[in-house]
Structure 1
Amino acid sequence: MAAPRPPPARLSGVALPAPIPDLEALRALTALFKEPRNRETAPRTIFQRVLDILKRSSHAVELACRDPAQAEHLASSLQLITESFRCLRNACIECAVNQNAIRSLDTISVAVDLVLLFRELRVEQDSLLTAFRCGLQFLGNAASRNAESQAVVWMHAFPELFLSCLNHPDKKIVAYSSMVLFTTLNSERMKDLEENLNIAIDVVAAHQRQPESEWPFLIITDHFLKSPELVKAMYAKMSNQERVALLDLTISRMAGDEPLTKDDVPAFLSHAQLIASTFVDQCRVVLKLTSEQHTEDEEALATIRLLDVLCEMTAHADLLSGLQAFPGLLERVIDLLRLIHVAGHDTTNIFSTAGCVTGDGNVSNMVEGFKSHLIRLIGNLCYKNKENQDKVNELDGIPLILDGCSVDDSNPFLTQWVVYAIRNLTEDNSRNQDLIAKMEEQGLADTSLLKKMGFEVEKRGDKLILRSTSDKPPQE
């Protein structure tokens, strides 16, 4: 296997241009290391030679950082650095022996130092970006499935490298630095993130900018959402836009193809408490949306997303009971439903029927589903829960729910959730059944609407009975 040549001569402390054979030798090694058998038989001396080239080439970068005028002389050094990183990157692919040899030579610290120097260079050169990207790829491969190398990368890279790279304008640098973070994170290192919240928030911001990138997504779903302490600290410090992004990923995790495991449930129980508490405290802020000046209020939109998460959480059996018993949650949901119901009648605004049906754009769509989700949440909170069923009755919530359906008959989703809520409110609850039957007799409940919802009132002697016309329960 060919090896790079010795370092070139030096003149007055400045590296001379690298001889072409060094670059050719590195390229040959990079190609050879694409094959597993070549990786497995590589001698340690090869990696020492590559490290030597990396070290001497880094001097030119250091000089350019001190004196920007020297940046124009970086071309040959950047070529060598790039190819050295490619060579090392390939050598580490599924090869713990090479990972260990490269780590023992202290190559990781040299690579991290170079990456940090790249961030300091104020030059726009494609060759610099390429070297930057390859350096991050090497660090990711060096740490992959190797606990000792992960610890060394973390020790040298955290927090400066992530603070420098996660908000970089180059998408690939953001993606590759996210890959390094994902690869090196574990449960013990989450404490470090709690002390450096800006890194965690930068990951969420990276996901906002690049939703197609898998690494920020995986960091959040596979690491952040398993740490209630981190999520709570992040949420308090985030912007409302960042909160919406985090809440969206929480929904994505719960509604995804992979169900929550037993190990996930304790963390999500804690998330549920945080989200319910925040909603109870802030939910009235959505009323700002009734004003034309605040139709895109970010705090209100974040609160709407809290409701979406609560609906998803109460549809999960392991999370439901805790939320059913959460102090003030059911009362606040009914109160808010009443307030937006009144607001939609009093003036023409985004909560009015016309606003829901004819509005276009994200804000209108979010608000259109808001009433449906309030009713859905009431239904979930009352599922097989007599105490909450009775509480809705005491708060005059049943007429409010029925009236909400008749106001916007053109919204089929609203009707479906009203049906679902009424079924859960009346299941094994004769008091609530009697109330609806009396409402129908007094003309306060539309008979045709009840039939549409799958109910009818039957008179047996002096007693009115509300019964279902279908034995099949509705689905969540």
Structure 2
Amino acid sequence: MAAPRPPPARLSGVMVPAPIQDLEALRALTALFKEQRNRETAPRTIFQRVLDILKKSSHAVELACRDPSQVEHLASSLQLITECFRCLRNACIECSVNQNSIRNLDTIGVAVDLILLFRELRVEQEALLTAFRCGLQFVGNIASRNEDSQSIVWVHAFPELFLSCLNHPDKKIVAYSSMILFTSLNSERMKELEENLNIAINVIEAHQKQPESEWPVTLLDLIIAKIVGDEPLTKDDIPVFLSHAELIASTFVDQCKIVLKLTSEQHADDEEALATIRLLDVLCEMTANTDLLSYLQVFPGLLERVIDLLRLIHVAGNDTTNVFSTCGCIKGEGHVSNMAEGFKSHLIRLIGNLCYKNKDNQDKVNELDGIPLILDSCSIDDSNPFLTQWAVYAIRNLTEDNSQNQDLIAEMEEQGLADASLLKKMGFEVEKRGDKLILKPTEDTPQL
């Protein structure tokens, strides 16, 4: 049995204070660097001095990580580290000269190494969190609008810092580390990020805890890019994506009704809703992969929630004029009128995917009155490109080797509840044989 870990050391006024001279000098510099004119005239030697203090204080942290008994002596070091980071953070604000000077001293590498050590310390929470947050703010500021700094930050921080910080329990640490990630991204680094999708999953997990944050959307796009890319998923990719599929499906099931906020104009650009829309896009692409489809077809509550959401946005779009209302006008090519564009189409696409050669799901859609809902959703709608084509696909998958669903649609057509011309577009027609109605495919199969 492992020995019990020592309790966190208390860092209070009973500890020896930080060296007064260094601490007071740093605080004075921090205050001075709040003004642009002082930042622009700062000599490089100042930053060397700050780095020297930071390095010396870092040695105390390294020692405490190796020897827990040394934690009780960290109070003064954490004070100095925090003030060093504040000073450097302020010096970098809208000042590329200082960014370059500080970067060229290799301060970024020292800062990142120290931030990674913070995760190993067991000290009083607030003292450590303050140093941790200031360190991330400094890294974010030195990378802001400075490609050379961004490159160095990426070299030192990817992927360890992001993997370590994006799942941190402190919201500010998650927010600051995500800021660094997106500040540093370019097309070349996006490719590296695609190869390390665990970071994307950390972002999605963080989104579950902080759904108001805007930054999960880009990483969800990366997952889509990976799935639909020219290179098929390898055998090694599949287990990873299965774990991703579980997280994404559960997040969608829990949060998908958030998109209804978009019916209000004041929430027309809601980032939380946008992230949920991208979750649906990811699920559509995942269920287009046969290796992932079978897992998602039996995911608890997913099909039911998709049908429920389709019904809710269909009703909302009919009741009042909003982003889910049918738009019969033809927009210019490439024009996107709102962030919910294509959402109804993708819901129907996902229903079709989940019912592909799956009798249980076909029957479940019938039980939930999903078939009339799909047929009723197929008006001409320029806000939902390919809506009819995805409805065709869904109805085919719902009726394949399923006589009960075929009979239901045939009866709907007979009673005037299903548009015969729409069924013909879908490649079906209803034929009466004696007292029985038969839904059969037409000779001309529509193109998807």
TM-score > 0.5, shorter chain as reference: yes
Which one has more relative contact order, counting CA pairs under 8 Å at least 6 apart? 2
Where in structure 2 are the equivalents of 1:12-411 lying within 5 Å? 74=43, 119=88, 122=91, 126-134=96-104, 155=113, 158=116, 164-168=138-142, 169-172=144-147, 173-182=149-158, 185=160, 190=163, 194-195=167-168, 201-202=175-176, 204-206=178-180, 208-209=182-183, 212-215=186-189, 217-218=190-191, 220-225=193-198, 231-233=204-206, 235-237=208-210, 239-354=212-327, 364-406=337-379, 408=381
Long gaps (5+) in structure 1: 1-60, 80-114, 140-151
Distance 1:127 1:452 in 2: 65
> Aligned to 1:415, which of 376, 379, 388?
388
* SS in structure 2 of the partner of residue 353 of structure 1: coil
Cα contact 1:228–1:267 (8 A) shared by 2: no
Counterpart AA for 2:151? A
State the shift of 1:242 in Å.
1.3
Kindly indicate whether the alpha-carbon contact (under 8 Å) linking 1:226 and 1:267 is maintained by their aligned counterparts in 2: no
In the TM superposition, residue 177 of structure 1 has moved relative to its aligned partner by 0.1
If the length of structure 2 is used for normalisation, what is the TM-score? 0.67
Residue aligned with 1:457, SS: strand
Name which one, 1 or 2, has greater alpha-carbon Rg: 1
Q: Structure 2 CA distance, aligned partners of 1:73 and 1:339?
A: 60
Question: What is the deviation of 1:230?
Answer: 7.2
The offset of 1:364, in angstroms, is 3.9
Q: Contact 1:272–1:319 at 8 Å: present in 2 too?
A: yes
| Cα-to-partner distance string for 1:40-97 (whole Å, 9 max, x where unaligned) | xxxxxxxxxxxxxxxxxxxxx99x9699889958368999xxxxxxxxxxxxxxxxxx
Could you tell me how far apart the structure 2 residues matched to 1:191 and 1:211 are? 18
Question: Is contact 1:275–1:306 with CA below 8 Å preserved after alignment?
Answer: yes
Q: Which has the higher helix share?
A: 1
Q: For each residue in 1:262-319, what CA deviation from the matched residue of structure 2 results, as whole angstroms up to 9, or x when unmatched?
A: 2232232222222222222222222222223332233222222221121122112222
Q: CA deviation at 1:375?
A: 0.4
1:451, CA displacement in angstroms? 1.5
Corresponding residue number in structure 2 for 1:438: 411
The TM-score with structure 1 as length reference comes to 0.64
Contact 1:409 1:415 in 2 (8 A): no
Residues 159-209 of structure 1 show CA distances to partners (whole Å, capped at 9, x for unaligned) of: 666553134323322332023222x749xx945764487666545434545
Q: Structure 1 stretch 223-232 or stretch 354-363: which is displaced more? A: 354-363
In 1, distance between residues paired with 2:200 and 2:163? 7
Other-structure match for 1:89? none
CA deviations 1:128-187 (Å, max 9, x no partner) are 333344456996xxxxxxxxxxxx9975563666553134323322332023222x749x
| Distance (Å, rounded) in 1 between the aligned partners of 2:385 and 2:44 | 64
Cα 1:225/1:138, change in 2 over 3 Å? closer
Distance in 2, Cα, partners of 1:389 & 1:328: 15
Alignment-mate amino acid for residue 426 of structure 2: M
**Aligned in 2, Cα 1:72/1:468: closer, same or farther, shift over 3 Å?**
same
1:221-246 C-alpha deviation (Å, 9 max, x unpaired): 33352685675246424643112223
Alignment CA distance shift 1:194-1:218 (3 Å):
farther
d(CA) in 2 for partners of 1:125 and 1:285?
40
**Does the 8 Å CA contact 1:65/1:117 hold for their aligned counterparts?**
no
For residues 77-119 of structure 1, give each alpha carbon's deviation from its aligned partner in whole angstroms, at most 9, with x where no partner exists.
999xxxxxxxxxxxxxxxxxxxxxxxxxxxxxxxxxxx97983
SS in 2 for 1:465: strand
Unaligned runs of 5+ in 2: 1-24, 49-83, 118-131
